[in-house]
């Protein structure tokens, strides 16, 4: 307390002036008033968000600021943007450095992004005009996004056509194969079965692709709304490219198959060799078809489409774990499962190579079951749950086969939408089965209907 009043006033005045000066210094320091700097310019067609004092960043480093924005003399001209840049980054600023306007995050300030040049290019000199890259504006991005979607639509449509064509030729190939097999005798008969399976798979896949196309078309508006993520286009493009590639491969394979079958018919006697060829060919058809299935699956799983699918009430059992299914994931949103249990003894017979096939009685039993379900709207999701005896090594495979066989029949016979009809192999885990011991042999048709409707029908 030895301080007099004037001394305090002195401390007060000098202290606060020092604070003010420190503030000025911080601004000045940032504006490079106290450090070495040099000047370069760039030309831009648009200067959205740019003003005098806007930051300049070089490879992410705060490197300077905009000094002046000179308006072009004519509409066709470009704005000249003069910038002050820190002397110490000069080694990075080359004559081939480019400038563009970028924005910090979604709401941030605009800044000039200056890219470092290449080592070979000479250093940019005082006052040099660097190449300016015009910024892509959100509106442009959206427009481009729309174009991308249309492009994808076109590609998917043509892909579908290709797949349909392939399917036709495949069918022909298979028919030929079958003929060949019929004439070639029992030895080759097993390949006919494999071919039939492949055919089914392909048909299934093609159906999925067609649905996908329809959805993409219908969802264009929804998709358009979400076009804020540039990474998304790349993914979509990738998926479309994959699908296109797969289709090409499929076409190629079916070509080979046809040639092979032609060879077979042309040169009888060389049975064993040709059988081998057919086997190989069909194996590769299977592989390729799987590729296609995977490609379309990837498309379906794409976060954007996934949200879209969910909005429309489509379900995606592939993306759903058995546990989630059994926990009743499909029974949310006011839905109840109406389940009809079908015994394997009635439905199936084992075909020569150990697969499960629907018998004529089995078909009738399924028809009866469906008769009980027609009272519910056609767009109710229907899941064919597959069950098999516990203990077998291939319980899961068997349950899967059974479910697939029934689903296939349902699609053909009742023209159920593929998207609303799916399989869920549940192995031996049959909670709530009529046997009462939570096991089941066969399938269960589970239709998910709204609670209100369910109660009303009761």
Partner 1 sequence: MTVVVSWLEGVARAARFAGRVLAEAVRPPFEGRETLRHLYELGVRSVPLIAAAGFAVGVVLSMHTRSSMARFGAEALIPAGLAIVLIRETGPLVSGLLLSGRIGAGIGAELGAMKVTEQIDALEAVAVDSFRYLVVTRVVACVIALPLLTTLMNFTGLLGGWVAEALITGMPLGTYFRQAFQPIQFTDLVPATLKTTVFGFIIATVASYLGVHTTRGTEGVGLASTRSVVTSSILLIATNVLLVRLIQFVYP
Contact residues for partner 1, defined by CB under 8 A: 5-6, 8-9, 11-13, 16-17, 19-20, 23-24, 26-28, 30-31, 53, 55, 62, 104-109
Nearer to partner 1, 16 or 368 (CB): 16
Q: How far is the CB of 66 from partner 1 (least distance, A)?
A: 12
Q: Which is nearer to partner 1, 19 or 272 (CB)?
A: 19
Q: Say how many CA atoms lie within 13 Å of 255 toward its Cβ.
A: 7
Helix (H, G, I), strand (E, B) or coil at 70: strand
CB 230 → partner 1: shortest distance, Å?
A: 17
Nearer to partner 1 among residue 17 and residue 45 (C-beta): 17
Non-local (6+) Cβ contacts of 405 within 8 A are 348, 356, 357, 358
Q: Which residues pair with 40 in a beta bridge?
A: 83
Please state, in angstroms and rounded to a whole number, the distance separating the CA atoms of residues 78 and 134.
10
Answer whether 430's CB lies under 8 Å from 439's CB: yes
Q: Is the dihedral of CA 139, 144, 146, 147 positive or negative?
A: positive
Closest contact distance (angstroms) between CB of 54 and partner 1 is 10
Task: Give Cβ neighbours of residue 232 (< 8 Å, ≥ 6 apart).
Answer: 226, 304
The residue among 79, 29, 35, 82 whose CA lies nearest residue 54 is 82
Q: What is the rounded distance in angstroms from the CA atom of residue 440 to the CA atom of residue 433?
A: 6
Quick one: which of 390, 386, 398, 315 has its CA closest to 355? 398
As measured in angstroms, the least distance from the Cβ of 71 to partner 1 is 15
Of residues 22 and 438, the one with the C-beta less far from partner 1: 22
Smallest gap from residue 29 Cβ to partner 1 (A): 9
| DSSP structural state of residue 315 | -
Residue 30 vs 363, nearer CB to partner 1 = 30
Comparing CB distances to partner 1, the nearer of 19 and 374 is: 19
């Amino acid at each position: 307390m030895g301080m007099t009043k004037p001394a305090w006033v002195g401390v007060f005045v000098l202290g606060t002036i020092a604070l003010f000066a420190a503030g000025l210094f911080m601004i000045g320091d940032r504006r490079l008033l106290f450090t070495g700097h040099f000047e370069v310019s760039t030309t831009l067609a648009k200067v959205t968000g740019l003003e005098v004092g806007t930051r300049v960043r070089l490879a992410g480093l705060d490197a300077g600021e905009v000094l002046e924005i000179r308006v072009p003399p004519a509409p066709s001209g470009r704005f000249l943007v003069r910038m002050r840049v820190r002397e110490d980054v000069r080694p990075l600023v080359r004559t081939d450095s480019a400038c563009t306007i970028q924005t910090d995050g979604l709401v941030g300030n605009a800044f000039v992004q200056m890219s470092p040049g290449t080592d070979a290019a000479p250093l940019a000199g005082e006052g040099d005009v660097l190449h300016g890259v015009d910024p892509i504006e959100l509106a442009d991005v959206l427009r481009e996004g729309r174009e991308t979607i249309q492009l994808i639509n076109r590609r998917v449509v043509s892909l579908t056509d290709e797949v349909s064509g392939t399917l036709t030729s495949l069918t022909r190939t298979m028919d030929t194969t079958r003929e060949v097999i019929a004439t070639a005798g029992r030895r080759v008969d097993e390949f006919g079965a494999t071919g039939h399976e492949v055919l089914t798979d392909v048909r299934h896949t093609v159906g999925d692709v067609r649905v996908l196309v329809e959805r993409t078309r219908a969802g264009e508006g929804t998709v358009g709304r979400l076009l804020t993520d540039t990474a998304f286009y790349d993914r979509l493009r990738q998926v479309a490219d994959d699908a296109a590639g797969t289709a090409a491969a499929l076409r190629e394979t079916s070509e080979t198959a046809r040639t092979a079958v032609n060879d077979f018919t042309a040169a009888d006697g060389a049975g064993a060799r040709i059988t081998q060829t057919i086997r190989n060919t069909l194996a590769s058809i299977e592989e390729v078809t799987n590729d296609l299935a995977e490609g379309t699956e990837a498309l379906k799983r794409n976060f954007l489409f996934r949200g879209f699918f969910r909005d429309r009430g489509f379900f995606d059992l592939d993306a759903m774990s058995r546990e989630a299914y059994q926990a009743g994931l499909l029974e949310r949103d006011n839905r109840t499962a109406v389940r009809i249990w079908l015994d394997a003894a009635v439905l199936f017979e084992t075909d020569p190579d150990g697969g499960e096939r629907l018998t004529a009685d089995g078909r009738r039993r399924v028809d009866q079951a469906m008769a009980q379900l027609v009272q519910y709207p056609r767009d109710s999701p229907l899941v064919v749950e597959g069950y098999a005896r516990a203990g077998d090594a291939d319980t899961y495979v068997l349950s899967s086969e059974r479910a697939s066989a029934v689903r296939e029949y349902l699609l053909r016979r009742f023209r159920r939408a593929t998207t609303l009809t799916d399989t869920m192999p549940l192995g031996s885990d049959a909670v709530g089965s009529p046997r009462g011991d939570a096991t089941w042999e066969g399938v269960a048709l589970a239709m998910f209907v709204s609670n209100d409707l369910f109660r009303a029908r009761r």
